[in-house]
Amino acid sequence: MRRFTLLLPVLVLAAASVALAATAGSSKLTSFKYCSDPTFPPMESKTTSGKPVGFDVDMAAAVAKHFGGKSTFVQTAFPGLLPALSAKKCDVVISGIFVTPDRTKQFPAVPYMRTHRALLVKAGDPKHITGPNALEGMQVAVQAGTKYEEYLKQLKKKIDFTLRSYPGDTDAVAQLLIGRADAVLTQDTSGAYQMKQHPGKIEIGYLFPASDAFGIYYRKSDADVGAQFKSAVLALKRNGTVRALAVKHRIPVTDVK
């Protein structure tokens, strides 16, 4: 009897340790929070009433539904997206953000869309901006904290132009519309959206041949979360959900294959 009594606490402790380890090792999500900067339509923006809308918003909701939960939008300025993820203010970042080697050194990503950078100009291209080298002497607007801005800063070392950065992509495009900028470096998705919003006023003057990928970023410590999102994106592409969202937001369906 005494032997059994001595063994019982040991067995209970061992069982508790196993349960704790299982809980600690599990990061499976049903509902999740995602950081996003709503200044990049049609990927993400806000209505006049403050409601987040866009392809990424709808995709986050579709992924959460696939998980059996719901998604929560966490508004974050673009330069602070990955720092917010690191600080655990959100579970993932879904915000029309490129998958790049410098970012994935710290945060892995699940690609979900291919896309091309574009130089947006005034309709008719009066300044004849047909490529990056044609920006010589021009006024160029861009969203701050982006790879677009980083690229243009490097380009300025080779050719001379005036570069001005703004908080959001829509802010940069506004400078083109009012004549304070000759070109905006953005994405084909944004360019197509802005052209529809301002018919006959702007156009894509140059489409870069190389493609980029938008990705969902997560923390390295949450490898199982990354696996969940990878599986969910694949499932939503296979069942046609992602394609339907692309059509809804006027994004080429070839970008989401």
236-245: pLDDT as tens digits: 999 999 999 9
Are 184 and 220 within one domain? Answer: no
Are 137 and 201 within one domain? Answer: yes
pLDDT at res. 9: 46
Q: Does a structural domain hold residue 242?
A: yes
Nearest partner of 109 among 245, 242, 214, 237, judged by Cα: 214
Are 132 and 193 within one domain? Answer: yes
pLDDT at res. 3: 41
Q: Does a structural domain hold residue 4?
A: no
Q: Does a structural domain hold residue 1?
A: no
Distance CA 138, CA 136 (A): 6
- Expressed as residue numbers, the domain containing 70 is 32-115+212-256
Number of domains into which the chain is organized: 2
* Angle, helices 223-238/241-248, rounded to nearest 10 degrees: 80
Q: Does a structural domain hold residue 10?
A: no
CB-based contacts of 144, cutoff 8 Å, min separation 6: 78, 79, 165, 166, 167
pLDDT at res. 221: 96
- Parts of the chain with a pLDDT under 70: 1-27
Q: Does a structural domain hold residue 129?
A: yes
CATH number at residue 134: 3.40.190.10
Are 159 and 193 within one domain? Answer: yes
Q: Does a structural domain hold residue 48?
A: yes
pLDDT at res. 224: 96
DSSP letter (8 states) at residue 75: E
pLDDT at res. 28: 85
Q: Does a structural domain hold residue 20?
A: no
**Phi, psi angles (nearest 5°) of residue 156:** -65, -20
Are 63 and 140 within one domain? Answer: no
Q: How far is CA 60 from CA 43, 110, 178, 210, 239, in A?
A: 11, 13, 34, 27, 16
